[in-house]
């Protein structure tokens, strides 16, 4: 079948999942992982400052969904788009309560959706580059929050 890779191919080529379905591409998985990790230090710092746990913890936990669904490409991509839309709304409506930290993650999840070079050759490279560009400033912010949390 044209859509399913042979079981002998490695993870770099998009391994076949346990149910015979194609797994998400490693580029997609890594971008989703960055979207998961990026807001953690600022969220912890805001929680220690006394901001609402519900506004910050619920979306942080939801960010783990794409990582849990990485073995099934279609479910992974659906989770990325759905979660990106939810987080975009969440970060805009909860802007004053600190939910703005999830805005870069929502954009990264949209990039992860299209970062599959098996399906979209040139757009995958463009969206992967966009993900790197989107993640730079929030990564600096996360590192700053982490240094502040560690007492540096």
Question: For the segment 43-65, what is each residue's pLDDT rounded down to a tens digit?
Answer: 888 888 888 888 888 888 999 99
Per-residue pLDDT, 6 = 36
Mean pLDDT of 136-141: 88
Mean pLDDT of 71-81: 94
The secondary structure of the chain, three-state, reads CCCCCCCCCCHHHCCECCCCCECCCHHHHHHHHHHHHCCHHHHHHHHHCCCCHHHHHHHHHHCCHHHHCCCCHHHHHHHHHHHHHHHHHHHHHCHHHCHHHHHHHHHHHHHHHCCCCCCCHHHHHHHHHHHHHHHHHHHHHHHHHHHHHCCC
Per-residue pLDDT, 108 = 95
pTM of the model: 0.81
Per-residue pLDDT, 8 = 39
Residues 109, 66 contacting (CB under 8 angstroms): yes
| More confident site: 84 or 21 | 84
The confidence band for 10, taking pLDDT boundaries of 50, 70 and 90, is very low
Per-residue pLDDT, 1 = 37
């Amino acid at each position: 079948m044209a859509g399913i890779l042979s079981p002998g191919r490695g993870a770099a080529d998009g391994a076949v999942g346990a149910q015979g379905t194609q797994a998400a591409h490693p580029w997609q998985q890594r971008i989703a992982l960055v979207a998961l990790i990026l807001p953690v230090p600022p969220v912890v710092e805001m929680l220690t400052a006394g901001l609402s746990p519900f506004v910050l913890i619920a979306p942080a936990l939801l960010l783990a969904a794409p990582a849990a669904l990485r073995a099934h490409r279609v479910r992974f991509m659906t989770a990325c788009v759905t979660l990106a839309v939810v987080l975009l709304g969440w970060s805009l409506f909860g802007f004053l309560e600190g939910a703005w930290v999830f805005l870069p993650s929502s954009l990264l999840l949209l990039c992860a959706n299209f970062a599959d070079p098996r399906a979209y050759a040139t757009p995958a490279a463009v969206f992967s580059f966009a993900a790197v560009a989107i993640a730079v400033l929030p990564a600096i912010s996360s590192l700053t929050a982490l240094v502040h949390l560690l007492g540096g």
